[in-house]
Structures are given as C-alpha cells and as structure tokens.
Amino acid sequence: MTEDTKKSAFQFHGNWVDFFKIAIVNLLLSIITLGIYRFWATTREREYLWSETEFIDERIEWTGTGMELFIGAIMVSILLVLPISILSFVVQGAMIQDNPKLAITIIIGLSLLIYYLIGVAYFRALRYRLGRTYWRGIRGGSDEPGFKYGLSYIWKNVLGVIPIYLLVPWAMISLWNERWNHMSFGAHKFHSNADWQDLMKRYMLFYLLPFLGVLAGIYIDISSAASGEISTGESTALGAIGLLLILFYIALPLIALMFYSKYFRVAVRGLRLHKLEFDFKARSKDWILLFIGNIALVVFTLGLGYIMLPYRNWKFFVTHMEAYGEVNLDELTQSETTRSKHGEGLLDAFDVGAI
C-alpha cells in the first residue's frame, strides 16, 4: 500500500465535548477515591484519544489497563519511596551526630540513583506505551529493559553540561536516538539518526539571550549615568528590573519553546521504521500558540481546564505528525518483544510527563 495522497498519514477525529465528558467524570471519581482512580482515568482518556487517531486507514488502539498502572505505582512506592524516606531519617540522624560525610554521601548517592532511575523511567515509559499500542492487531515494544539507558542518561547529560552547557543539544538528540533505536513496531525496528548539529543555531539563540539581556541592562545603566541625571537613578533601576522580568518570564520561555520546536522536528525527522519516514510539521509559532492556549484555558477556567490539556496536547501531536513511504501489511508481522506486566509507575513517581 502506498501513501502518496495529500491527506496526512495521521488523522485525529476526536472532539473536545466527548473528551470532556470522560475527563470530568474522571476528575470526580479521582477525588472520591483519594486519587486511586487516576490510573483508570488515564487509561480511559488514552483509550479515547488513541481510538480517535487514525494512521493511514485504521485507528490505533490503547490496550493498557488501569490495574497495571496502579500496580506499577504501588511497586515504586514500596521499592523506592519507602527506602528513600527511611534514608532521609538516617541523613537527619547523621546531621544531628555531626557526621556530615555520611549525610553527604547518602544524599549524593541517592541523587545519582534517582537521576539514573529517571532515565530508566523515560525509556520504560516509551516501551510501555509502544507495547500497549496496537495498529491492525500489531503492537510495538522493546526487548531492552532500559537499565543501560539509565547509565547513558547520566553520562550523556553530564557530558552535555561540562563544556558550559554547550553540548546539551548533543545529549538530547543522542539520548533520543539511543532510546528509539531500541524500539520496534511489529517485526520492524525503529532507526533514529537525528543530527544534533542541526539544532545548534537555535540553541545558541537560547544560550546567548541572557548575555544579551545583561549587556542591554549595562547599556541602559551606562547611558543614563553618562547623561548625568542622578535623579533618574531609581527609575533606571526599575527599568533594569523590568527588562530582567521580561527576559525571564517572556523572552526565555518563548525561545525555549522555539528551541524545543526545532528539537522535536529534528528528532522526529531522524526517525525511520522500515520503509516509513516521519516528520513533525509544527513550527515555533504553533508550539507557542499551543502553550498560550493551554495557559489561557487553565487560567480562565480557574484551573478546571487542566483536565482538557491531555486532549489538546495529543491533538497537537497527531495533527502535526506526518509519515511518508509505505507499509507492507504482509511484512508487518507481530512483535516478538516481551512486555513488562506493570505500567509506568516509575515515570509517574518522578512526575516527568511527555515522551
């Protein structure tokens, strides 16, 4: 089957009213179950969003269950949160007893462990989601458990930061490639070879902005000093503060979004699955509109709009995704990967959302 029509390979058919009906019941049920229902809530929302998402000519299907998410969360709670809280007592004890070496050793060790587990969590969440996503009866997955990826997550991020943060784009793209190169859909492996250098121009913009801001501040200072108007000293200071506020609350987030937009486009474009290639069509403007829309939605509904964010984000993702090439249905055979029996509790525990 070739796909050469103008129609995008990814179509979204959902509407916000249907999603809202699901989300509002989810919210109420989550409240009266002290949050426990939220695993089933997530599942219902995904079932809806997936089922309204069409790839080529067939809708995809979410088969994850609330129970497995719940079990995942319980496991993380017992295996991770309990030991950490016990260790935090030990740290307090060590501080009381004037043993800063022990306290600091535990804190550093624990931080490293948590950082490692965040990496593992990212990997396992992607693997879980692919493993629960079916298209024409075929699912994705990975045979890697993600423990090696956790190590990469540490050393690549550290290496990215060492040269005064200049290699952060390399770390991001390299980790993306590593993650996806271990994933597969059906019998086909994903191949990812996104190039981090495509990102550098955009990154330098983000990187240099604070310096430019400081330079501008100094310029204002000097020019007002040169003009000799001592009485305006106060208003100049206010001006500098205003400039800083604009810099940090408007300019920086905007440029961060512009960078992320480029990152995601470069990353998705680097992805291949057998004879399929992918693209992500959203430009910086689209990302900025999405975020402004999200913020407005939450603010103007006094927070309730929060429950609609999964819908907006998913719709944004699907409508901008694009695929080219062909899928041979006879060749697309079932995945042989093993699947973990529990959900993304680890990711959940660290509160790191998107893929």
Partner 1 sequence: MANEVVDPFFSVSHFDGKTAVRRKVEIQTIGKNFFLLENERRHGPFAFEYMHFVSQTKGNISYGYEDIDGWRLTLSGPIPEDLKPLLPATRTYGSLIDKLGLGKASVAFIAASAAALAVIITAPQWLAPIIPQSIENNLGDALVGDFGGRICSTPEGKAALSKLTNSLDANPDDLQVEVVNIDMLNAVALPGGKVFLFNGLIQQAESVDEVAGVLGHEIGHVRERHVMQGLLRQLGLSLILGGLNENVGGVFSSALSNSYGRDAEREADSHSIEVLNEANISPIATKGFFNKLSEMTNEENGISSVTSYMLSHPLSSERAAKFDASFDKERDYRPALTKDEWAAITSMCANDKDVKSGFGFDFGEE
Residues 127 and 146 sit within 8 Å (Cβ to Cβ) = yes
Q: From residue 322, how far is each of 9, 140, 182 by CA, in Å?
A: 6, 18, 22
In the set 11, 51, 152, 319, which binds partner 1 (CB under 8 A)? Answer: 51
Residue 96 identity (one-letter amino acid) = I
Q: How far is the CB of 216 from partner 1 (least distance, A)?
A: 35
Q: Stretches 97-105, 208-216, 251-259, 270-278: which one binds partner 1 (CB under 8 A)?
A: 97-105
**Dihedral sign for Cα atoms in the order 264, 266, 267, 268:** positive
Q: Does 237 bind partner 1 (CB under 8 A)?
A: no
Residue 74 identity (one-letter amino acid) = I
In the set 19, 40, 176, 259, which binds partner 1 (CB under 8 A)? Answer: 40
Q: Stretches 93-101, 206-214, 265-273, 300-308: which one binds partner 1 (CB under 8 A)?
A: 93-101
Q: How many residues does the chain have?
A: 355
Please, which residue, 344 or 348, has the CB nearer to partner 1? Answer: 348
Q: Does 112 bind partner 1 (CB under 8 A)?
A: no
Site string for partner 1, 323-342 (x = CB under 8 A): ----x-xxxxxxx-------
> Up-side HSE of residue 117: CA atoms within 13 Å toward CB?
18
Q: Does 294 bind partner 1 (CB under 8 A)?
A: no
SS3 321: strand
- Cα–Cα distance measured from residue 1 to residue 121, given in angstroms and rounded to the nearest whole number: 36
Count the site residues for partner 1 by CB under 8 A.
63
- Cα–Cα distance measured from residue 62 to residue 133, given in angstroms and rounded to the nearest whole number: 5
Please, which residue, 76 or 247, has the CB nearer to partner 1? Answer: 76
In the set 27, 106, 114, 298, which binds partner 1 (CB under 8 A)? Answer: 114
Q: Does 36 bind partner 1 (CB under 8 A)?
A: yes
Alpha carbon distance, N-terminus to C-terminus of the chain: 29
**∠ CA 314-160-114, rounded to 5°:** 65
Q: Does 37 bind partner 1 (CB under 8 A)?
A: yes
Beta-bridged to residue 280, according to DSSP, are 321
Q: Does 105 bind partner 1 (CB under 8 A)?
A: no
Q: Stretches 40-48, 202-210, 216-224, 317-325: which one binds partner 1 (CB under 8 A)?
A: 40-48
In the set 24, 82, 108, 112, which binds partner 1 (CB under 8 A)? Answer: 82
DSSP, residue by residue, 231-282: GGHHHHHHHHHHHHHHIIIIIHHHHHHHHHHHHHHHHHHTEEETTEEEEE--
Q: How far is the CB of 35 from partner 1 (least distance, A)?
A: 5
In the set 102, 136, 251, 319, which binds partner 1 (CB under 8 A)? Answer: 136
- Cα–Cα distance measured from residue 240 to residue 222, given in angstroms and rounded to the nearest whole number: 12
For helices 200-226 and 168-181, the axis angle rounded to 10 degrees is 160
Q: How far is the CB of 92 from partner 1 (least distance, A)?
A: 6
Q: Footprint of partner 1 on this chain (CB under 8 A)?
A: 25, 28-29, 32-37, 40, 43-44, 47, 51-52, 58-59, 61-63, 66, 73-74, 76-78, 80-82, 84-86, 88-90, 92-93, 95-100, 114, 134-139, 186, 327, 329-335, 348-351
